Each structure stands twice: as C-alpha cells, then as structure tokens.
Structure 1
Amino acid sequence: MQTGYVLLFWLFPVFLKGCCVKRNQHYKTAFSGPRKAMTQQHYRLVEGEMFLMPCFKNMVTWYKIGEENGGFHFDCGREFLIEAKHSGNYTLLTGKMFLLLQVLDKRRLPCYKAEEVDVVMLLAGAGGKIPCPGFNSTISTGVTWYKGNRSVSTKHRDSCVKNGHLHLCTVYQYDSGRYFCDSHFIEQEAEWTFRRPVNVTSIPSKEARGPPRITLPDDSTAQEVELGKSHSLRCVVHFPFEVNFSPQVKWYKNYRDNLDNRILLNTESQETERVKFDEFMVTHIAIIQEVTELHLNHTYTCMATNPVGNSSVTLKLKRKIKENCPTLLIGYPIASLLLVAGLGVVLRVKWLELQLIYISRFQRGKVDADEKEFDVFLSYVWTPHEETLSSLSGPESHDSSLEPSNSEHVIGHMRPPEVLIPLVLENLWGYRLCLLERDMLPGEAYTNDVVRAIRRSQILICVVSAEYLSNSNAVFVLESGIKVLLQSSTLKILLIRTSRTSTRFLQPDSPLPSVVQRALKVLPSLDWNLAHTKRANGKFWRSLRKVLPKHTVVTSHIHYGQYTTITETKSWE
C-alpha cells in the first residue's frame, strides 16, 4: 500500500512536466468549432455562483432588454452573484452586440455533485492543477481559462490546459484569486459558453514549519502597574502558516513563581491577522480587573502552541513610581503665571503699535463727507532744489500739460514728489487739498489751526524724507495726525517715503517723539521711486488712487487768455 502512494506521487510530477514541456502549447484548444459573428454571445451559468460580465473592445455597460426603468445593468468586468432573475437578453447602448444569459439550478445539472470543492489550494513553488467544474457534463469543443477578465494565455507563464483542467507548471503567491472556466459547445447551431468560477488560494505549505514565536511581552522587563486600577496583559505571537489554522494562546497566573501551581486567566480579546504570505500574527489580551499587592507576588506566563511545538514568556509586575505631585502642583502655576506676565509685558510695550495697526488697516468708521472740509491734508518739506522747481511748476501755476487728456505727460515730467503729488491730486484728480504754506497763516493759533484742519480732512498724507524728519513743524503735523487717528477712526494716514530717506530717517538731527518713532514702523506707506512713478498707470499711482477717498470730483479747465472755462463732472470708483 505504501509503495502505491510512493509511485503515485512520483508519477504525478512526470505527467505535469509533460504538460508543461512546451510553453502555452494548449491554448489554441479553447474552441475549434464553427464560429458565428461576435454580435451574439450565449452564456450558461449556475445559480448561486459568481459571474463576471465579459468585456469586448469599446464596451462599458450591459443593459437587460425588456425591463422597465432600465432593468438590470452591469458594468463590463463587474463580478456579481448570479440569481434566476438575471436570465435574459442584454445589449449595449449602441445595440450592435447582444448577450444571452441562461441561469440553471445547480441541483438539476447533469453532473451535479454536492461535495464539489469551492476553493482549490495550490502549494507555492510546486506545480498545480485547477479543475474545471462540470467539464464532463457537456460535450465540450474547448476550454478557455480566465483570471478575472483576462485570459490566462495572455499571462506570459508556463501553463497549459489538459482535459479541461488548467495546469500551472509553477505556483506563485500571486496566483490566488478567482478563475473562470469557459467550456464551449454547440447547441441548436448556436455557440454556447458554460462559465463556472473557481476560487484558488496559493499556500506556502500545508503544515506548520516551526513552533510559534512570541514577540511581546519581553520576559526580561517587569511591567509597571498602579494599585487599584486595571491592567492589560498583551501577548503578540507569530505563527507559521498552516491550512487548518487554529491558534492556541493563553495567559496563566503562577502562584509564588511556581509554574506547577497556576490558573488560567480569562481572555478579554484575541485578534488574528495574516501579516506575511507564510505567517499569521495573533494578539491575545487578558485583563486584571483590579491590581492589588497580591498580584505583585505572582508571575504571569503567556503560552502559544501549534502542532509543531510551543513557546512561552513569563513576566512579573512592579509598582509604578508616581511623580512628585507637590513639584507639579507648584511648577505648573508658576510657569503659567510667568507666561501670562510675559504676554502682559509684550502687550504693554507694543500696545501703541498694535492700536495703530488695527485702526489704520482694519477699523474704519463711517465718514460724513459734509463734515469734512478737505479731502487730503498734504504735508511735505521743500528743499532748495525743489523750491526752484516750484517756482516754475508749483501747484498754483497752469500748463497745457495739466489737461486730463495729458495726464501721462504731466506725470512723465521729472518732478519731485512735493511738486508732482499736489499737481495730480488737485489739478488732475480734483481733490480738495490742504497745503500748509498756502492754506495756513502763521501765528498764535497756528498749532490749533493745524489740528483742526487734520480733523476736517479725510486723509493725512506725509511725504517723508530725511529733511521732513528734521523739520520740527513737519514732525508736529505727523504727531498731531497720529493723535487724531488714535481718537477717531474716520481719519486715514499714509506715508510716502522718498528715495532721499537715508540713515538719517531713523536718526534725524533732533530726536523724534516716541509716538512718531513707533508709528513710522507700522503706518501704511508707499515708496516714491522715479522708475515706478513716471507713468500715469504705474504701480505707485494705482496704489495711491486706491487709498484716496472715493467721491465725485469736479475737474475745471481754467480760463487763461483765450482759453475757455469748461467744467466736467466724473466719479472715481
């Protein structure tokens, strides 16, 4: 009897090798009978089995014919469980291809076997055979094998089909999956395909190749516990693969370190996971509901067993040392107090800057235009060179270049900002401008007049240069504007920094007031650069226009000599 088994296992590899001598030699045996046009396909299926809708070129979805509201529809390549109600004709939206599904009752099959195996296991590294269910039930003209929706013949590997069975010369890990066996036959002059599914699982071995291996806990380290609280005993074990896997992991409590005197602890939970092709991982947890002093006198053993052998790990419990609570109770409040104090100091030092940032950029009160006498209060300081230029082209003079149509020509002139900005604001854009040298009379009430004019202006623009910060009257205007800004959210302040601002900007001849020094760092500003300001649509002028008040302005063409006065009204948006 033993000799017969030896001959059987010795001859089987020979037969398998003979099938695999020539690569893919049997693939053309799929169907050798007469073929009809691919416009009509017939499939015979078994109820309760999985089916995969076939895919052909440029196909998406099959729709069942004759059903209301579209009936059943299945995407190409979609797997689903076959039921009797799925029998019928299917077509594509194009109507150029049809599919007939005929669902049979498994118990009425000619060769029905109740003991048919649903899963075929193949040993990796060896040859394997996948049987075609019901192959002998029909007079088949050929068999085609698919894995998923792809023919096995397209997978460049050593395999063949013999007597309807698929022979894999070498089984690999990735061979696991669902295969479909298509038996072809002719019935009533129609080509039929009898499709049956086969589930294949590739296994590394049938029996365990070694004992289990415990990776957690570590028996050299005692576990810390808190008295009066629960504690989880976790054991992580790695088992070699076996077909009939039934892991056995248990926790024991050993009285007084006596391994012969122990009791089994109740299992809280156990989870099994396949972490590798040839390995399972089992996590077993037992819980001590309330740790007492007695638990510290015992040891605890995790034991794992399989048919090859067993492994165990023994550990002890120790009391967890609590941290010094008084230190924590004192340290945390002090740290919090220091943090709050530090934030208070920072806020106190930077409070003015924070106020100016918030008021000038985010807070904006409602402006009543009737209460404002001026649109813009412009503050600057003349230089000797600029005075010469002003005598030629000051704000009060007139030139044909001041016509609105010639704004590009006016701005394009190489004029300093103290000359060009008033020209553009008043003569071209029509804003009501307040200038100190023109609209303010020196005297005892000069300072009051300046503050009053700032309050009655919508925006204060300061052309800041090194000379400006060295001029006490100019610094007074800027300081007054800052104080008004802190009192009223309807005023806006804009600094125009010129290229003549040098290191004296931060260190002028006379010390600047503290409020001015701090405000210069945070107030909104624009940089005057000839490269950016010589064009009317340049970045500087566009940015300046956005900051200025939005209102309806009147542009007057002033009458000089034989010129006629023309008044034009337009609204800036």
Structure 2
Amino acid sequence: MFLYLQVMDKHRLPCYKDEEAVVTLIAGAGGTIPCPGFNCTLSTSVTWYKGNKSISKMHRANCVKNGGLQLCTVSQHDTGRYFCDKHFVEQGVQWTFRRPVAVTAIPFEEVSASPRITLPDESAPQEVELGERHTLSCLVHFPYEVNFSPQVQWYMNYGDKGGKRNLMQTESQQCNRVTFEEYLVTTEALIQQVTALHLKHTYTCMASNSAGISNVTVKLKKKIKEKWPSLISYPIASLLLLAGIAIVLRVKWLELQLIYISRLQSEKVDADEKEFDVFFSYVWTSPHHEAAGLTRSAQSSPNSHDSPSPFEPFNLEHVIDNLRPPEVVIPMVLEDLWGYRLCLMERDMPPGGAYANDVVHAIRRSQILICVVSADYLSNSNAVFVLESGIQVLLQSSTLKILLIRTSRTSACFEQPDSPLPSVVQRALKVLPSLDWNLGQTESATGNFWRSLKKALPKHRVRSHFP
C-alpha cells in the first residue's frame, strides 16, 4: 500500500483566504455563524465544530442552513472559536477545507444606562486624621460596552458647588468584568497629608460612558480619638492580668476539667445501666516492700498458701493482723463484707479478646474506677493504660468516678517512675480524689481510711440480673 503526499502553495488552494472571520452575536436572540468561502465550490457538505467538539454532539438547539450555523438562542457561553469543515472533490481528490470563525456573544449592542457609583456614600462624611495620608476610593459599576473605555475622575471642589474645581491625580485604577453584563472599576486618589484646609473642601467622584454621567460628592471630618480613662491609669497591669489569666487557663485547663467533673459536678447515675459497681485496678506488690515488714510470699503473692487471695472468704481480723497489702484486702472488703460487685481483670475480663477494647468497655460499665497507685503501678504499662483510659472516659462522660489509693506517696519511684507517664496521667494524678494507705498505721488512721472509702463508693449497687 502506497501513500502519495502532494504539497501545494496555499494561495493555489480553492476557497483560501488569509483573514480570520469574526462574528458578534447578541445574547437572548437567535444568531447565524456563516462559513467563510462556502459558495466558492458547488459542494454543500459542511460540518461545524466548537473547539475540538462537534456541534452535533453538544445537545443544543441549532441547525445548518446554506452552510451557516444557526443558533436558536444565543447565550454568553457561545463565545469561542468555531470551525466549519467544507468537503468537496476536485480533480479526483477529496478535500476537507477548514475555516475558523471567532465568535463573541455580547449582552447588547448599545448602552442604555449610565454608570452606577456604590462607593463613596455621600450621606456619610469620611473621617480623617490631621497630618496623616488619606485615600479616596470610588467604586463604579459600568454596563457592558463593545468598545469599553471607562472614564472615572476625582475632583476637589473649593467652596460651594459653583466654586472652583481641580482635577485630582489618580493613584490607581482597576477594571474587572464581574458579570456578563457589567464591569467594576475602582479608582483611587491620594491626599498625601491632611490639613485643616482639606476639611473645608468637598470631593467629587465622576464617572461617564456613552449613556450619561454619574457623580457622588463627599466631605471630610476630623476623627475624634476615643479615650478610655479606666485603662489609661493602669494599662500595663490590665494587659498583664488578662495575659496571666489566659496562660493559666490554657496550661491548667485539663486539671480544671477534672476537678470540676470529679469533685464539683454531681450527676445521678442509674445503677441499672451499669454492670459493675467498681473496676478495681492494681499490680501485685514487688519484693522491695519487705523492708516495711512485708514479704511477697507472706503478704502479696497470688500463689501463697499462707495468705488468702482476694477471692477467698474475708476474715477482717486475720487480714489486719497480718498487715496485708491493699490489693489483697480491699477487694475482699468491697465484695465479701460490703456486697459491691467488682470487676477484676484476671477474673472478669474475657480471655482471648481485644485487650484495649475490653478494658475501655469494662470501665464504661462500672460506676467507679479504683486504682491502687504505687511505684510498681506507675511502672506497669498495662496498669497505666487502665488509668489513662479511665481519665478519658471521665472527660467524655461524668457518669464515671475515679478514686486513687496511694500506697507510696513519698517514694522516689512514685515521683519519677522508670517509664515516662502520659501527660494526661501526670496532670490527673495531681487533682483526682485520693486516699492514703500506709502499712502499719494506727487503728484510728485505719478506721478513717475505711470510712472515707465507704463514703466515696456508689450509694446504689448494680442489680443482680447482670450475668
């Protein structure tokens, strides 16, 4: 298969013209876009395009008559570059001759309205400061014109309306077409330094087009500076006070929230909506407490045969005599003696579940979270997660209460645990309600502890219909 390429001088081509066709159409009416050179051949086959898209695929009302494209109703969107492809055969060669047409849709041919000035407002004098610069701005809306050439000027008027008028120098002028039918022109004139003499003159913005002239005249008045006697005497002190309050609120906002929710805000909680009275969180006491008269085998080991676990029958006298740690004593007192329903992780958490989700769910289903906080507790990531989750639940819903039982308040490990605590936990430890547990304390102190604990517990227990 062979392809023959013939190169011809453009002036020898049939229907050739150098100039580009230009057509202007009026929006809202019908219009015709003629095809240049349509009558130079006998063929009447013409295809129209707008850009690279065929007019036949544009789904709009049109037709082709005598080679011209007839638009039933012209709109502003019809502005663009069109092409007509004329097809004919000459000397056995099939030709497609394309001619461009530049089309502009306009809203109307003749302007019937004068410009409209929206700024300045002649009913309101402009305030100025003596010795300062002042800019006079004039915003004018011009209707569309085919040959648009906006004329906007500022004039300074001396005395009455019949007095002398001087043209002011224009600092800047901007012109933007804001709609299909309208332009917005902004013109500014500058007074370099306002004097008392300027207050005696008036200033006129004048705009004109082929339909007419519009103008607006304004006056200047001296700006009165407002005085604040109450702040003049103590301006620095007032600013420092406001800044100090803002800084304290920003830094202490979390602590203030926790204090309000946990101590001041009191919401009635329906015990029927809860599954547990108490979520009890602790870690087993480490061997370093032997110096205080405790041994892990005798007091805190969950596998010890000499001391009962938290789940054995409660014997108050036996427990106190042996100075058992709080993670052993408190669960037995709460459940066996006082009848509260406890959630203990090793006993009541379902095995094989999602640990984080199960912990948060159990906390939400409890009336109060009690954490036995010690150096071992704050060094245990799982225990810290429980406390942090409880704090987040407390901030979201005040139906939960949190109580900390501190067992080693003066311990260096408590002040500076091995692993850095989350910021929310560090700040919450300072403000959450707490009780102190001291091994070997007096009988009076022990009685005060149990009375305070009883007072902090929920007044209404959950019903037994929960599984």
Question: TM-score if structure 2 supplies the norm length?
Answer: 0.56
Question: TM-score if structure 1 supplies the norm length?
Answer: 0.47
Distance change >3 Å, CA 101–CA 326, structure 1 → 2:
farther
Match of 1:480 among 390, 398, 408: 408
Q: Secondary structure at the match of 1:388?
A: coil
Q: Which has the larger radius of gyration?
A: 1
Q: CA deviation at 1:265?
A: 0.9
Task: Give the total of aligned pairs.
Answer: 338
Contact preservation (8 Å) 1:124, 1:204:
yes
Aligned to 1:388: 313
Q: Deviations over 1:320-354 (max 9, x none)?
A: 12232765555652333323554687779999999
Contact preservation (8 Å) 1:485, 1:492:
no
Cα distance between partner residues in 2 of 1:344 and 1:238: 50
RMSD (Å), alpha carbons: 5.6
Aligned to 2:159: 256
Contact preservation (8 Å) 2:44, 2:67:
no
Match of 1:510 among 430, 433, 448: 448
Kindly indicate whether residue 68 of structure 2 is the aligned counterpart of residue 165 of structure 1.
yes
Cα distance between partner residues in 1 of 2:9 and 2:163: 62
AA partner of residue 489 (structure 1): P
Q: Secondary structure at the match of 1:227?
A: coil
AA partner of residue 256 (structure 1): G
AA partner of residue 200 (structure 1): V
Distance change >3 Å, CA 164–CA 291, structure 1 → 2:
same
Distance change >3 Å, CA 486–CA 338, structure 1 → 2:
farther
Q: CA deviation at 1:193?
A: 2.0
Q: CA deviation at 1:171?
A: 2.3
Distance change >3 Å, CA 478–CA 198, structure 1 → 2:
same
AA partner of residue 194 (structure 2): V
Contact preservation (8 Å) 1:375, 1:457:
no
Distance change >3 Å, CA 531–CA 172, structure 1 → 2:
same
Contact preservation (8 Å) 1:455, 1:484:
no
Contact preservation (8 Å) 2:139, 2:184:
yes
Q: CA deviation at 1:146?
A: 1.4
Q: Secondary structure at the match of 1:510?
A: helix
Contact preservation (8 Å) 2:20, 2:102:
no
Q: CA deviation at 1:197?
A: 2.0
Kindly indicate whether residue 417 of structure 2 is the aligned counterpart of residue 489 of structure 1.
yes
AA partner of residue 280 (structure 1): Y
User: What is the identity percentage for the equivalent residue pairs of Structure 1 and Structure 2?
Assistant: 48
AA partner of residue 448 (structure 2): S
AA partner of residue 388 (structure 1): P
Cα distance between partner residues in 1 of 2:60 and 2:28: 14
Aligned to 1:282: 185
Kindly indicate whether residue 117 of structure 2 is the aligned counterpart of residue 211 of structure 1.
no
Q: CA deviation at 1:152?
A: 2.2
AA partner of residue 176 (structure 2): E
Cα distance between partner residues in 2 of 1:384 and 1:488: 30
Distance change >3 Å, CA 483–CA 192, structure 1 → 2:
farther
Q: Show structure 1 runs of 5+ residues with no match.
A: 1-39, 41-87, 90-99, 355-368, 395-414, 422-452, 465-474, 494-503, 521-529, 535-573
Contact preservation (8 Å) 2:81, 2:101:
yes
Distance change >3 Å, CA 456–CA 261, structure 1 → 2:
closer
Contact preservation (8 Å) 2:21, 2:36:
no
Cα distance between partner residues in 2 of 1:308 and 1:177: 28
Contact preservation (8 Å) 1:386, 1:416:
no
Pairing 1:505-544 to 2, within 5 Å after superposition: 510=448
Pairing 1:145-294 to 2, within 5 Å after superposition: 145-187=48-90, 189-294=92-197
Distance change >3 Å, CA 531–CA 191, structure 1 → 2:
farther
Distance change >3 Å, CA 378–CA 187, structure 1 → 2:
farther
AA partner of residue 175 (structure 2): T
Q: Which has the higher contact order (CA 8 A, sep 6+)?
A: 2
Q: CA deviation at 1:142?
A: 1.1
Q: CA deviation at 1:207?
A: 1.2
Q: Show structure 2 runs of 5+ residues with no match.
A: 259-285, 320-340, 348-373, 388-402, 422-432, 437-445, 457-463
Kindly indicate whether residue 215 of structure 2 is the aligned counterpart of residue 312 of structure 1.
yes
Q: CA deviation at 1:306?
A: 1.1
